[in-house]
Amino acid sequence: MTMHRWWRGAVIYQIYPRSFMDTDGNGVGDLPGIVDKLDYIASLGVDAIWISPFFKSPMADFGYDIADYRDVDPLFGTLDDFDRLLAKAHALGIKVMIDQVLSHCSEEHAWFKESRESRDNPKADWYVWADAKSDGSPPNNWMSLFGGVAWRWEPRRGQYYLHNFLSSQPDLNFHSPQVRAATLDNVKFWLDKGVDGLRLDAINFCFHDLQLRDNPAKPEDKRVGRGFSPDNPYAFQYHFHNNTQPENLAFLEELRELMDRYPGTTTLGEISSEDSLATMAEYVNDRRLHMGYSFELLTNDFTAAYIRGTVRDLESKMVDGWPCWAISNHDVARAVTRWGGCEADMAFASQLVALVCSLRGSVCLYQGEELGLGEADVPYAALQDPYGKTFWPNFKGRDGCRTPMPWDSTAQAGFSTGKPWLPIDDAHRVKAVAVQEPDPASTLNRTRHFLRWRKQWPALQFGDIELLYTAEPVLAFTRSIQAQRLLVVFNLGADPVQWNLPAGVTAQPVEGHGLLSGQVQEGVLHLPGRAVFYASIG
């Protein structure tokens, strides 16, 4: 795994197409909208884009329920639009990654419609079917992540089918060689078109336990996890049998063999298991996935100890692989609000970008992070997310991080000429692209400046990391490659702090990153609140 692979140390900009830019006035973003804004994306200095699903879908889960893996949903445009997007992105030097949702599809998919008709049709075993217990209840105790049991009765077959997510998202049976072959053939379709990589949704959910064993109960004090409502029964179990099965490793190797036939392509796996860091270490290496990310930094804990412990744990387990870090995405509350509260300022937003871009690995920045957007307030009447509707008000769902991108401060924020599919928060209009463009000190321009500066430092892109012990709220580590060695220090708090440099360390501050920094006086580093300090050390 050498430095010249473009994805190592890359900054990948995630686009949620429904909310990025609408060109036809229906209130939903589309592929032509992405094409129109590619020059803006290029101006950020990112290396690649990752586009969330735009495939044909009934949109029960807003595109993560795919009805046709090889076609664009008319809501987003056409295959020709995607070809134009790909060509323009490549002309601008931007790599293109697309979401692939392999473990499950929509109940509207032709495969499932055929499979559910009988127990002896050609696709009868393409999904996870099971007989009822003698009392008519589901075959085991598995729960759906979106709430309730993970089994739905299908009267045509007189059996239950498994759905780890919505009941309209049946799980494919990856124990079937035909399913694996058909899945890889769908992936090949997009590789042949010229995509540069795949972001693999819920990739550890492809296989299930063939014995359908019950999941064991989880003690009440262990019922935590990303995005769980306190009353979501999914958190009541250890999910040992409905995902993360050993057979998945061989499939990942099949997938890697296909990817290797397309030089320069990459895979990024989304991994959420009972021990996500251990699963990442197992899944990411030269024979399986190129990169992986989990949800450890998508939690509410913003202490230096937690971040240091998470990174150290992964580093100790992943000896061969390459991580990818994210602090925001389309599934969790935006980091500015999650970690900084409603009063978080521009300095904090800029610090968060620097933090995730300074860890060892690649980076996913979610659309709007460059603007310092916080979580939007979406009232129940405007809610679209089925997850949020089920668990309101304890858990308000994912709509707050999915509201439209604010391009200007007008009523529709320059996103659409029609009514946006989700309301636009007034707090977002004042942080719109057009508002921030003229201000050199804006979060947008600080992000641009920082990402350009980062490209000058191989240690930040490719180097090793060594975590240093610090008291709260200071996070410190070194990044090094060959003769280049950087000390990186963050004051995660809002108040000034002092930190004694390690004995024998001579630090020469590195300027030019454009962020709030600190000063060294007689071996003591003085850091203002939300400061970021980079220094060259011998």
Catalytic residue among 201, 282, 315, 370: 201
Residue among 283, 354, 282, 275 at smallest CA distance from 310: 275
Answer whether the bond into residue 423 is a cis peptide, omega within 30°: no
Tell me the DSSP string of 303-351. -HHHHHHHHHHHHHH-SS-EEEE-S--TTS--HHHHHH-TT--HHHHHH
Residue 478 pairs in a beta bridge with: 466, 487
Q: CB-based burial of residue 293 (10 Å sphere; 0-12 exposed, 13-18 middle, 19+ buried)?
A: buried
CA pair distance 361, 314, nearest whole angstrom: 11
Spatial separation of the C-alpha atoms in residues 110 and 3, rounded to whole Å = 43
Q: Please pick, among 47, 73, 154, 270, the residue that the annotation labels catalytic.
A: 270
Q: Catalytic site residue 331?
A: no
Question: What's the CA gap between 454 and 495, in Å, rounded?
Answer: 26
Report the C-alpha gap between 116 and 128 in whole angstroms. 11
Burial letters for 152-184: b for 16+ Cβ neighbours within 10 Å, e otherwise?
bebeebebbbbbbbbbbbbbbbbbbeebbeebb
Using only C-alpha atoms, the chain has a radius of gyration, in whole angstroms, of 23
Q: For residue 1, which of 250, 312, 313, 323 has the smallest C-alpha distance?
A: 323
**What is the C-alpha to C-alpha distance for residues 23 and 28, in angstroms, rounded to an integer?**
9
Which H/E stretch holds residue 248?
Answer: helix 247-260
CA 493 to chain centre: 26
The C-alpha atoms of residue 326 and residue 294 are separated, in whole angstroms, by 8
**Ramachandran class of 287: left when φ > 0, alpha when ψ lies in -120 to 50, beta otherwise:** alpha
- Active-site residue 270, yes or no? yes
Backbone phi, psi, residue 390, to 5°: -70, -40
CA 402 from chain center: how many Å? 13
What are the backbone dihedrals phi and psi of residue 399, each rounded to the nearest 5 degrees, phi first?
-65, -30
Residues whose CB is less than 8 angstroms from the CB of residue 192 and which lie 6 or more positions away in sequence, other chains included: none
Rounded to whole angstroms, how far apart are CA atoms 502 and 33? 50
- The residues annotated as belonging to the active site are 201, 270
